[in-house]
Amino acid sequence: MKFNLFLLKFFISYSILFPLTADEKDMFNIPSQLLLDIGKEVYFSKSSDSCAKCHGDISSLDIVNKDMDKSADLKDPKTWVVYKALGGELKKNENPKKFEKHLNSIIINLITYGANDWNRKFYSNASKEYGFNWNRVEGKQQYDGQMKGIKIAIAKNILKKIDRTLKKEGYKINRKNLENIAAISVYRYVENQFR
């Protein structure tokens, strides 16, 4: 009994000290089609700050109904700030897998937490671990606070809907992981619309 308690404590502190990485979060083992469906739901969600509101309808060939000129072209990752800040084509060619891994990890954090939190809490790690460098991006020193993340912009009823959808398919997901799933699934949906 005592031993079990010790183990339990160990696992709890371990998971707090070493939160799951973006890749490990994929291990919820949700089939990719289901993730895409959920991602689409999140992207077009009716909340006032849905991704579609600013970034437009990326399911169409030309982006339509785009509210915001300054928002990134989600169909072309080569135009993204992160692509440039990580060193662009040159760095990518050195080690495409590593480049993609770093890019995905940064973008999933940005989508989850939004620009303001990313600038404050994630930039320094991205700079140290991945070589993210603002000097490579002309005229920019941080992400535009207009880029809202899941934690700020997603309505609670969307999370509930995701929860219900997953339950129906037999996946029991801890509430605190729903936002991660929303972020990963919406990014999968975006990746699926690349030109």
Q: Tell me, what DSSP letter sits at residue 149?
A: -
Query: Got the DSSP string for the chain?
Result: -HHHHHHHHHHHHHHHHSPPPHHHHGGG---HHHHHHHHHHHHT-SSTT-HHHHH-BTTSSS-BS---TTS--TT-GGGSHHHHHTTHHHHHHH-HHHHHHHHHHHHHHHHHH-HHHIIIIIHHHHHHHH---GGGSTT-SS--TT---HHHHS-HHHHHHHHHHHHHTT----GGGHHHHHHHHHHHHHHTT--
Which is closer to ligand HEC, CB of 106 or CB of 166?
106
Q: Which is nearer to ligand HEC, 110 or 166 (CB)?
A: 110
Q: How far is the CB of 17 from ligand HEC (least distance, A)?
A: 28
User: Based on CB atoms, which residue is closest to ligand HEC, 6 or 131?
Assistant: 131
For ligand HEC, the closer CB: 22 or 111? 111
Distance (Å, whole) CA 157 – CA 163: 10
Q: Are 42 and 163 in contact (CB under 8 A)?
A: no
The nearest distance, CB 87 to ligand HEC, in angstroms, is 13
Q: Which residues pair with 57 in a beta bridge?
A: 64
Q: How far is the CB of 29 from ligand HEC (least distance, A)?
A: 22
Name the residue number minimizing CB distance to ligand HEC: 51
Q: Report in angstroms how near the CB of residue 85 gets to ligand HEC at its nearest.
A: 7
Minimum CB–partner distance for residue 47 and ligand HEC (Å): 9
Shortest CB 122 distance to ligand HEC, Å: 12
The site for ligand HEC (CB under 6 A) is made up of 49, 51, 53-55, 68, 70-72, 74, 80-82, 107, 110-111, 143-144, 146-148, 150, 153, 186, 190
Judge whether 36 and 189 are in contact, CB under 8 Å.
yes
Cβ proximity to ligand HEC, 12 vs 67, nearer residue? 67
The residue (of 26 and 49) whose beta carbon lies closer to ligand HEC is 49
